[in-house]
A and B are shown apart, each in its own frame.
Chain A
Amino acid sequence: MLLFVLTDVFGIKALNSQPLPQANKELSGFAASARNTIMEAELKSDSVASAIVSVGKYAKANRLHFEMIDSLSKILFKYPLQDSAGLNFATEWVGTPNMGLRRPNYVIIHHTATNNCSEALNEFTKPGGREASAHYVIAKDGTVYHMLNDLLRSHHAGESKWGNTTDLNSSSIGIELDNNGYQDFTEAQMNSLTILLGRLKATYKIPDANFIGHGDIAPTRKSDPNWKFPWKELSEKGYGFWWDDTTGVTVPETFDYLIGLRIIGYDISEPVAAVAAFKRHFMKDNSGGNINAVVRKIIYMLYRRYQ
């Protein structure tokens, strides 16, 4: 740890003593080498990082994980940016100190559709494999694998759409629940999930409405989490919307259920898939995309919640 701090101080000093003209140009190069030194120092120290990198079955993947984060961080240092589009950039560079890191605004829940947790971990540590990943994997016994820093983009959503958002990977946290796709979700798993959701909601101010499933954002391709997932219980704790008592509610004759689904967030370019996804999530009904008066009424109830 001390080595780490020293490197850092040295890094800042070195930055100060850069000769005037090169400083701007060489920032990315310098930052890169400074970052490498920091990483090396971290790896050599007694930190948890060194422990997770050097031992165990996933040692190689962990090392690759750190290398990738390191090279991604370098992109942030690129300033002034090299440009190829012929933009009329000012000769003087002016950076703003008012900034942050892009944060998640949605939580997407998945099931792994694998037979056990190890299969999922192996999948997500395969470089050049399916290139899929998630921020969290929760095992049946409630053990949580945090596979990626929340502030980075994981590859869990795939081609998807919700409301006007078409890059859900960039704006969400992905949570995978170990489940073969046909099973109930275990109590220990749900307990861990609930704690995790509480933490994510508080940290990133994620609105109640934005806790949704993979099957919601990619209804033509995905059906997870399976229909047994307890969305109603989650909504009672503030994660996701639910519908109120329907007694005494009359759906206006003119109500267009597809418009209703679109307002909730569904991509309605394939209406049958959208209805099927809605029924799975909000009615625990796995019977596909056929519509009837009851389904229409519940769509209407939720459409009003999402206004």
Chain B
Amino acid sequence: MKRQIFLTLYVVLFTFFSCTPGQYAATNKVYKQQVKNYAKMLAEYPVKDSAGLNYATDWVGTTNLSMRRPNFVIIHHTAQNSCEQTLQTFTLARTQVSSHYVICRDGTVYHMLNDLLRGHHAGVSKWGNTTDLNSSSIGIELDNNGFEPFAEAQMNSLLTLLDRLKKAYSIPSSNFIGHGDIAPTRKNDPNWRFPWKLLSEKGFGHWFDDPANVSLPANFNHLTALRIVGYDMKDTNAAIVGFKRHWLQDTTRGLNDQQLKVLYQLSKKYQ
């Protein structure tokens, strides 16, 4: 009890007297300290080694280097009731979850992490041959309880942000995808109401050409097509559901002829 009072007092004092005013002053301070530690890690050179490598006696550092950059953008919904709730979740160290951006329903953007650092938003995931999506992506969380449409103001902010990210890191159109795409057995966000087609028209994500007059080739294999798009094929049913949510706004299982044609058309975009 005593300890709790002390802790509360500490938090209150911290809030009033630390460098950043406001509710998140304490965690903002942790943020700054961690970045400082990471900067030190990057400056560690020569790197200490324990593997018994036959290192040269003279060290030669290269002069041609840069920071690792994102190559994918992963879109999420928060599955929470408010932006405030999400900010709290992402500032608790014990949750170990975060994203680079959180966009509220009214379009307000919280930039929670420098783009060049690794956020913890993807979890165990796979897309194409890449198995560490956190290391190669930017995570964007949209405030949405998981069952509602996405607000217009929210979409406007998202589009502005995507445009900036695409330019800043030369992210290819194909690499704007959803959390449910890279972790189809565990995740279904953003929910099926998300306007992927609208995004693709602006250059964020691929879309399929009209399948109306297309006939499927005799050797068309839908599993191979899903794998080419990027899906992890460990659980084929989950991959099919992921594909249908993203490209057909449909949450049911299985593929009919019309849907197979859509997949065929889409997979051609990824070749």
Which residues of A come within 8 Å of B, CB atoms? 11-12, 15-16, 18, 20, 23-24, 27, 31, 34-35, 38-39, 42, 48-49, 52, 56-58, 61-62, 64-66, 68-70, 72-81, 83, 85-90, 92-106, 121, 124-127, 129, 131-134, 139, 142-155, 162-167, 169-171, 192, 195-196, 198-199, 204-205, 207, 209-210, 252, 254-256, 259, 262-263, 265, 268, 306-307
Contact = CB atoms under 8 A, between A and B. Distances in A.
Contacts of B96: 98
B20 interface: yes
B91 A97 contact: yes
B59 A81 contact: no
A199 B64 CA distance: 24
B32 interface: yes
Interface in B102-155: 104, 107-120, 127-132, 134-136
B38 A101 contact: yes
A170 B20 contact: no
Interface string B24-63: 1001101111111011111111110101111110111111
A103 B227 CA distance: 24
A65 B114 contact: no
A93 B60 contact: no
B19 A16 contact: yes
A86 B101 CA distance: 15
A265 to B, nearest CB: 5
Contacts of B95: 98
Nearest to A67: B63
Contacts, number: 366
Contacts of A166: 71, 170, 172, 175
Contacts of A142: 54
A170 B68 contact: yes
A167 B70 CA distance: 8
B7 interface: no
B41 A164 contact: no
A15 B120 contact: no
Given A24-B20, A87-B157, A152 B28 contact: no
B120 A100 contact: yes
A202 to B, nearest CB: 9
